[in-house]
Amino acid sequence: MKANRFNSWIKENLNQIKQSNLHRELVEISSSMTPEIVINKKIYYQFASNNYLGLTTDAKITNSVISAIKKYGNGTGGSRLVTGTSNLHSKLESDIAKFKKTDDAIVFSSGYLASIGTISSIMNKDDIIFSDELNHACLIDGARLSRSKIVIYKHSNMKDLESKLKKFKTSNGKKMIISDSVFSMDGDIAPLDSIVKLSKKYECISMIDEAHATGILGDTGSGASEMFGVQDKIDICMGTLSKAIGSVGGYIAGSSDLIDYLKNRARSFIFDTSLPAGALTASIRAIKLIERQPSIRDDLNNNIQYIQDFLASSSFNYLKSVTPIIPIVVGDEEKALECSRFLLKNQIYVPAVRPPSVPKGQSRIRVTLMATHKKKHIDKIIKVMENLEKIIN
């Protein structure tokens, strides 16, 4: 394609995005990710971060990170199979395995890389993947990359899933059921106990993404798999270190053989420079804190309940959840943008969520809560939302 044709194609597609009210722009934040952030030299109360436990700014963790960087440096200088495996990598993987109650674990540079590397190395064109219709993009892309036949089932609908499993019961290839445990745009929780039962009944591999559940759900914060009591029954447990853990990276936890296989076959592990010491140390310290200080989850749960009580008495079309993700569905893309602008004018930062992140006609304001939000922060957004409610109605 000639340069002028390429430029015309880019402009044409950009115009289509803008005309559909789907154009996005980056918002530059010049502060740490606390409940109060700085945008264009102004302070805003933010309800948009997935820093659910506020650990990105925990002082003890930060001091440990500084010490680790001084000892190990800024980077690793190689992939895991060359020079990129330190004792910190091994320590974090061991800690994750204990936290998730599995034999072993493997750390990737992101949850996205963990997903696409794992799915594409296990599944192939002769296999079938059963995927929830609201699964995260990393799971969708991993399934596509594997070239497997992809069968979509209705969101958390076990009857629909089983009907599709029955249809392909005699298939000779491998079969895999993939689902988020907590869905990032809706905040609801998948019925993991039922998914596990169906995976055993129809001889499927089960893969669960605990990205938004790790550190939040379960008696020790291990995730939704702990909450449902199925930690030892899930074949592939995936998660991130970038949300409640407050660092960066992704992981797969499972059997020793699975982890050994991924070290030898997952391309996004083999051909990627490994995580640096700072990120590893932050994750190690965060997991220890979550295990030893359950009160931090109590603070988060109290904040969730506080805003849920307000929404229950409002006319907002919101999705009930026990997770920090609280979507308020407004439908139209432009309407969602207007709501976000209104909040911003009133010192509240909550971006509009539009397609392709959510289905067309289901645009929303997605409020996310942190353990470090104070009553004054939540009272402020409630007051502004009371005025927003009048405008919407």
pLDDT of 2 higher than 80: no
pTM of the model: 0.95
**What average pLDDT does the chain have?**
96
Q: Looking at domain 22-51+294-392, which of 3.30.70.1230, 3.90.1150.10, 3.40.640.10, 3.65.10.10 is its CATH number?
A: 3.90.1150.10
* pLDDT band, very low/low/confident/very high, at 82 (cuts 50, 70, 90): very high
Q: In what order do the strands lie in the sheet with 348-349?
A: 36-39, 42-46, 348-349
pLDDT band with cut points at 50, 70 and 90 for residue 392: confident
Distance in angstroms (rounded) separating the CA atoms of residues 366 and 390? 19
How large is the average pLDDT for residues 292-296? 93
Q: Which pair of structure tokens corresponds to residue 73?
A: 């440096």
Average pLDDT estimate for 131-158? 98
d(CA 129, CA 157): 16
Q: Which fold has domain 61-292?
A: Aspartate Aminotransferase; domain 2 (3.40.640)
Dihedral (C-alpha) 315, 320, 324, 329: value to the nearest 10 degrees? -50
Task: Kindly state the DSSP code that residue 56 receives in the 8-state scheme.
Answer: G
Contact 204, 335 (CB under 8 A): no
Domain locations in the chain as residue ranges: 22-51+294-392, 61-292
Give the rounded distance of the alpha carbon of 272 from its chain centre: 21
More confident site: 179 or 20 = 179
Question: What are the pLDDT digits (tens) for 85-115?
Answer: 999 999 999 999 999 999 999 999 999 999 9
**Mean pLDDT (whole number) for 299-326:** 95
Residue 148 confidence (pLDDT): 98
For residues 341-368, average pLDDT: 94
Residue type, 247: S
- Judge whether residue 150 has pLDDT over 90: yes
Contacts (Cβ under 8 Å, ≥6 apart) of 103? 97, 254, 255, 256, 259
HSE-CB of 135 using CA atoms within 13 angstroms: 28
Spatial distance between the Cα atoms of 209 and 228, rounded to a whole number of angstroms = 14
Least confident of 30-44, 156-170, 351-365: 351-365
Half-sphere exposure of 164 (CA within 13 A, CB side): 21
What digits encode the pLDDT tens for the residues 243-283?
999 999 999 999 999 999 999 999 999 999 999 999 999 99
Helix ranges (H only) for the chain are: 3-19, 59-72, 87-100, 111-122, 137-146, 158-167, 192-201, 224-228, 256-265, 267-270, 277-292, 295-312, 333-345, 375-392
Tell me whether the CATH fold assigned to 22-51+294-392 matches the one assigned to 61-292.
no
**pLDDT tens for each residue of 207-245:** 999 999 999 999 999 999 999 999 999 999 999 999 999
What pLDDT is stored for residue 1 in this prediction? 66
